[in-house]
Amino acid sequence: MVDGLVRSHASVFSGTYLNGKEAVPALEALRDITVPQPGPTVTNPAWSTADAALRRRWDDEVWSIFDGIFTSAALGVRKPSLRFYRHVLRATRAVPRRTFFVDDRPENVLAAISLGMRGTFDTSALYRTLTNVVGDPVTRGLAFLRLQKGHFPTTTQHNETINENYAPLLILEASLVNLKAPPRLWNFFSGEPKYTSDSYPDDLDTTSLGFLTIPPDSEIVHSVLDEMHDYVDEDGIPQAYFDKSRPRVDAVIALNVLTLFHKYGRGHELPHTAEWMTSILLNRAYVKGTRYYANAEWFLYYMTRLLRASSDQTLKERIESPLRERVAERIGAPGDAFCLGMRLLACNYLGLENHPDRQTLADLQQEGGGWEASCIYFFPGAKRDVGNRGVSTAFAVKALEDWSGW
């Protein structure tokens, strides 16, 4: 077990039966993770001749990570008896809610959890699991981001690299990315276009995100807002591209454009877009994602950005309450790191407590401190899912950093 989920004071208490080769990964994991205060190991059998041989196989440095060893022979009771756990908790003065139990049997872990501990019987990723238990996820995540020195490649599911601007703009700490703003309009691609035509037009989506993230002079913004009106379709919805030969519409893109208009006090100029966003929200039309964006959280998170950017009190009164209901409905739903990060940021803004998803997101952290790349958008024509590990990590860090529970 690890006693001290308060990261400054942790001890290890392993319930795994140390037997033969199966002991190696567990022992190595416990040995390699630095914890200020070691802990005990517990095991059902007494230390037989074979077990004594196993002890001799490891030097004192390995065994010194344990405060003590508790055997069923010495205690007169076996796991998963609750008396066994209570005895060890009393003897070690471990606090259950700050204790992590490791065992290779589900029934033993269940008994530990029933007493208020956390635990796992999956020893295949034990090093990562224990690192996540004793480490601060925000500190480790920020260290990972800084280590990359602004290099966060965007890749497809086939590990093909794309040079683009949208993912760096999504990384919330602008100092952590290498990004230069264009003179006026933004383009999704920062390099050669892929999975599309050789000539790829500037787009309203990346331009809106760019202006919201790295604002240019207001004169430039307002001139671009004027130009965007030329790319509003007959339904009153902004299209995706500054190119009338590509009449694409996407709800998340339209929402991003609407947010930019509200940021600069011109949201009233897109009333049909606001009505459509409200209808999408009320009818849960976002649940399967959109043409370009992979999940429901994109729309819900961007709706919180709209509320944050807008000074229109009527708009806020109309959508804030149903938005809170819709976001609350998503708590605990399956999702990858990027999805959970957006969901938690939406919850944070709306004042919704979401401990389950915070814990799930923290548990997904990798050994190096980052989170795996998640699908953040699609190239539907080329059947490409696009992800960026820097984006997943930045959203995870931002979502977790304002929670006092770590």
**pLDDT of residue 17 exceeding 50:** no
Output the six-digit token pair for 214. 């790295």
**Does residue 116 sit in the same domain as residue 255?**
no
Give the CATH number of the domain where residue 214 resides. 1.50.10.20
Distance (Å, rounded) from C-alpha 249 to C-alpha 240? 6
Per-residue pLDDT tens over the stretch 182-241: 999 999 999 999 988 888 999 999 999 999 999 999 999 999 999 999 999 999 999 999
**6 part of a folded domain:** no
Q: How many domains does the chain have?
A: 2
**188 part of a folded domain:** yes
C-beta neighbour count of 200 within 10 angstroms: 17
Output the six-digit token pair for 88. 């060890």
**Does residue 273 sit in the same domain as residue 315?**
yes
**406 part of a folded domain:** no
Give residue for tokens 């019987």: 121
Beta strand 99-102 pairing with 118-120 = parallel
Report pLDDT for 94: 87
User: What's the start-to-end Cα distance of the chain, in Å?
Assistant: 18
**3 part of a folded domain:** no
The pLDDT-based confidence of 162 (bands split at 50, 70, 90) is very high
Report pLDDT for 21: 47
Can you list the positions of beta strands (E) in 139-259?
Answer: 154-156, 161-162
**Does residue 157 sit in the same domain as residue 46?**
no
Grouping H, G, I as helix, E, B as strand and the rest as coil, residue 397 is helix
Phi, psi of 363 (to 5 degrees): -70, -20
**98 part of a folded domain:** yes
User: What range defines the domain where residue 84 resides?
Assistant: 11-134
Last residue of a domain, one of 75, 110, 134: 134
Q: Residue 79's Cα: distance from chain center in Å? A: 35
Average pLDDT of the residues in 132-151: 89
**Does residue 149 sit in the same domain as residue 88?**
no
Last residue of a domain, one of 134, 149, 164: 134
**Does residue 384 sit in the same domain as residue 301?**
yes
**Signed CA dihedral, 200, 183, 236, 339: sign only:** positive
**Does residue 116 sit in the same domain as residue 150?**
no
CB 19 within 8 A of CB 54: yes
Amino acid at 136: D
Distance (Å, rounded) from C-alpha 95 to C-alpha 101? 12
CA atoms within 13 A on the CB side of 85: 27
**Does residue 27 sit in the same domain as residue 160?**
no
The pLDDT-based confidence of 15 (bands split at 50, 70, 90) is low
**Does residue 130 sit in the same domain as residue 192?**
no
**247 part of a folded domain:** yes
Last residue of a domain, one of 134, 156, 185: 134
Per-residue pLDDT tens over the stretch 36-62: 444 555 555 544 554 565 566 666 666
**Does residue 129 sit in the same domain as residue 251?**
no
CB 67 within 8 A of CB 40: yes
Lateral strand order in the sheet of 384-388: 161-162, 154-156, 384-388, 375-379
CA-only gyration radius of the chain, Å: 26
**Does residue 310 sit in the same domain as residue 336?**
yes
Grouping H, G, I as helix, E, B as strand and the rest as coil, residue 119 is strand
Give the CATH number of the domain where residue 123 resides. 3.40.50.1000
**Does residue 125 sit in the same domain as residue 142?**
no
**Does residue 114 sit in the same domain as residue 208?**
no
- 3-class SS shares of the chain: helix, strand, coil, % to 5: 50, 10, 40
